């Protein structure tokens, strides 16, 4: 049996275009000699469709589209789509072929944690299904799975065992599994263990493409019954993985460096956000600092240098080296670059507020005005030329609240908001290594980070210490007490956890940010703004 895993990139809600995309790849697969084609979970409607699933006409359209696809099929296809039955909605895998829908399976395990809300929409199927698929001169019994069904250990059940008992000759899992660091290793290890348990070939077909905060990585996998990997789809690209079960060719799992993987994830995240919202061009502020430099590189690799506009917005506190570094970066990237001084605007703000401020000491209010003037200038260019503003803040800053709401937080998309400051450095060094040159000026990497909002300011954190602690609190979900027990400075932990808590209000108004870790700020982390829980203090 020749199986093609079609890892494609649909757009949420674009049902007709998704249908065309599916048919295009189906025909490619047929032309390449496939006998069975497999498409991802909910591929016709895009993932996650969220509350669109509550609209009757959305479901009508999805069902009609599936019927229309089925009518056009020759060889069998497995494809994900929602299905209504007796007033309930199911997340289904359909088997189509020879012009009709011949079977379906209802997803059993519905993820309702982190970024997933499937219980909000779907009813859980109550049985495993083995569907017999007929080919020209044979038939194969396929054990059906959808995404989370693979992770059955977390639900204290064993779905592959049940499929095997029901006579499955292979397992097909259709997924919409978002990327995060280390995900390929998790999946391949788990699938290999299922193969070891059942001695059944396993085909895992995963979606590609970015949708709001999520980036689907593809990286589909095929194993023969002897636990040999026999097919692997590329990361972050549409493609077909074609494998021949009768003549399997074992391969080695291809892995790439962590920094490279994250970088390519973010490039796809930016590219898809623009493409799927219809934007062509981006604008971002270039301060000469490392965050905006890395964001600029990603934007150029996603959109091309002609579609990225860099703006330097110096004040009296901007150092010469910062301006030089920003200019050098823009030159290296080959992008449009302009300078708009904020001095005179700041002067008028100061003047206008003089009476209200009444001789008070200069502080955060004045610093934030600078950030907000810059944010407003970028938005003015955005409104005038239809450029989308990219926000350049990193995760450590966002955690600590070291960022200005309606200022440097402005943007339609936050590119590196799920990268710790440590990762920002690591990716920047990787960029230069990959380029074989100082694409990002080495000075931007090596100088002490500074917001340059007052004379001789430097960021008030030792990022080498703070950044990993923030990651431990957010991504590893460690508690402050645990970290102190592990040797962290109690006062520092108290300060960090307090800052994370009281700055929730800023993050609630942040631009959507591309997720690359196990826990990003955004839809997967739901913490109240009004929140008096502090385990280190009595309330």
Position among 24, 32, 33, 55 found at the interface with its own copies (CB under 8 A): 55
Q: Per-residue DSSP letters for 481-539?
A: HHHHHTT--HHHHHHHHHHHHHTHHHHHTSPPB---SSS-SSTT----SS----TTS--
| 345 belongs to the binding site for its own copies (CB under 8 A) | yes
Q: Is 147 annotated as catalytic?
A: yes
Residue in 307, 224, 315 with CA at minimum distance from that of residue 270:
307
- Strands 100-106 and 130-134 turn out to be unpaired
Catalytic residue among 6, 96, 147, 403: 147
Report CA-CA distances (Å) from 299 to 157, 333, 397, 476, 484: 44, 10, 20, 29, 39
Half-sphere exposure of 454 (CA within 13 A, CB side): 13
Position among 4, 175, 206, 211 found at the interface with its own copies (CB under 8 A): 211
Cβ–Cβ under 8 Å, residues 409 and 491 = no
| 520 belongs to the binding site for its own copies (CB under 8 A) | no
Residue with tokens 């000759």: 169
Q: d(Cα 516, Cα 419) in Å, to the nearest integer?
A: 8
| 61 belongs to the binding site for its own copies (CB under 8 A) | yes
**Least distance from its own copies to the Cβ atom of residue 363, Å:** 8
Q: Considering only residues 12-51, where is the footprint of its own copies by CB under 8 A?
A: 12-17, 48-51
Residue 503: exposed, middle, or buried by beta-carbon count in 10 A (0-12, 13-18, 19+)?
buried
- Give the binding range for its own copies (CB under 8 A) out of 66-74, 244-252, 291-299, 344-352: 344-352
- Strands 239-244 and 229-232 turn out to be unpaired
**Least distance from its own copies to the Cβ atom of residue 163, Å:** 26
Residue 356: exposed, middle, or buried by beta-carbon count in 10 A (0-12, 13-18, 19+)?
exposed
Position among 135, 155, 317, 406 found at the interface with its own copies (CB under 8 A): 406
Size of the site for its own copies (CB under 8 A): 88
Catalytic residue among 2, 6, 35, 41: 41
The residue among 18 and 328 lying less far from its own copies, judged by its C-beta, is 18
The residue among 168 and 265 lying less far from its own copies, judged by its C-beta, is 265
CA dihedral (155, 156, 158, 162) positive or negative: negative
Residue with tokens 């079960």: 245
- Give the binding range for its own copies (CB under 8 A) out of 228-236, 319-327, 369-377, 448-456: 369-377
- Give the binding range for its own copies (CB under 8 A) out of 53-61, 178-186, 392-400, 456-464: 53-61
| 280 belongs to the binding site for its own copies (CB under 8 A) | no
**Least distance from its own copies to the Cβ atom of residue 369, Å:** 6
| 276 belongs to the binding site for its own copies (CB under 8 A) | yes
The residue among 135 and 406 lying less far from its own copies, judged by its C-beta, is 406
**Least distance from its own copies to the Cβ atom of residue 470, Å:** 16
| 375 belongs to the binding site for its own copies (CB under 8 A) | yes
| 342 belongs to the binding site for its own copies (CB under 8 A) | yes
Cβ–Cβ under 8 Å, residues 104 and 130 = no
The residue among 58 and 317 lying less far from its own copies, judged by its C-beta, is 58
Position among 381, 403, 472, 514 found at the interface with its own copies (CB under 8 A): 381
3-state secondary structure 309-329: EEEECCCCCCCHHHHHHHHHH
Cβ–Cβ under 8 Å, residues 302 and 273 = no
| 89 belongs to the binding site for its own copies (CB under 8 A) | no
- Point out the residues that are catalytic: 41, 107, 147
């Amino acid at each position: 049996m020749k199986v093609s895993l079609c890892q494609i990139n649909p757009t949420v809600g674009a049902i007709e275009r998704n249908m065309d995309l599916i048919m295009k790849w189906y025909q490619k697969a047929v032309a390449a000699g496939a006998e069975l084609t497999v498409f991802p979970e909910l591929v016709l409607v895009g993932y996650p469709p969220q509350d669109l699933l509550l609209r009757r006409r959305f479901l009508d359209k999805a069902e009609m589209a599936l019927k229309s696809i089925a009518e056009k099929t020759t060889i069998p296809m497995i494809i994900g789509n929602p299905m209504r039955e007796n007033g309930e909605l199911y997340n289904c895998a359909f088997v189509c072929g020879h012009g009709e829908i011949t079977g379906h399976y209802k997803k059993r395990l519905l993820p309702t944690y982190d970024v997933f809300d499937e219980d909000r929409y779907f009813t859980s199927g109550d049985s495993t299904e083995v569907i017999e698929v007929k080919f020209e001169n044979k038939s194969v019994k396929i054990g059906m799975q959808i995404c989370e069904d693979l992770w059955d250990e977390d639900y204290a059940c064993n779905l592959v065992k049940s499929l095997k008992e029901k006579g499955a000759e292979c397992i097909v899992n259709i997924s919409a599994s978002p990327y995060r660091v280390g995900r390929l290793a998790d999946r391949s290890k788990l699938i290999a263990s299922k193969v070891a348990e059942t001695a059944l070939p396993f085909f895992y077909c995963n979606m590609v493409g970015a949708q709001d905060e999520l980036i689907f990585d593809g990286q589909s996998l095929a194993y023969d019954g002897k636990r040999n990997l026999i097919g692997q789809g590329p990361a972050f690209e549409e493609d077909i993985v074609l494998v021949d079960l009768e003549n399997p060719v074992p391969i080695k799992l291809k892995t790439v460096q962590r920094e490279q993987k994250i970088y390519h994830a973010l490039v796809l995240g930016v590219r898809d956000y623009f493409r799927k919202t219809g934007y062509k061009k981006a604008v971002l502020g270039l301060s000469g600092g490392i965050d905006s430099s890395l964001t600029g590189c990603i934007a150029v690799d996603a959109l091309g240098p002609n579609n990225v506009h860099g703006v330097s917005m110096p004040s009296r506190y901007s150092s010469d080296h910062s301006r030089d570094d920003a200019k050098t970066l823009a030159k290296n990237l080959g992008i449009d670059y302009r300078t708009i001084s904020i001095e005179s605007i700041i002067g008028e703000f100061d003047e206008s507020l003089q009476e209200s401020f009444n001789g008070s000491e200069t502080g955060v209010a004045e610093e934030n005005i600078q950030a907000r003037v810059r944010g407003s200038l970028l938005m003015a260019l955005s409104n005038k030329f239809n450029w989308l503003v990219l926000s350049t803040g990193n995760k450590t800053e966002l955690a600590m609240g070291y960022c200005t709401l309606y200022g440097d937080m402005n943007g339609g998309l936050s590119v590196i908001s799920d990268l710790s400051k440590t990762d920002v450095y690591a990716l920047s060094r990787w960029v230069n290594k990959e380029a074989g040159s100082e694409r990002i000026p080495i000075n931007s990497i090596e100088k002490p980070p500074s917001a340059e909002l007052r004379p001789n300011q430097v960021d008030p954190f030792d990022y080498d210490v703070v950044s990993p602690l923030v990651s431990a609190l957010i991504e590893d979900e460690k508690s402050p007490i645990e970290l102190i027990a592990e040797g962290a400075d109690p006062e520092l932990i108290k300060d960090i956890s307090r800052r994370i808590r009281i700055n929730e209000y800023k993050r609630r108004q942040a631009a959507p940010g591309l997720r690359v870790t196990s826990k990003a700020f955004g839809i997967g982390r739901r913490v109240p703004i009004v929140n008096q829980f502090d385990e280190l203090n009595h309330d």
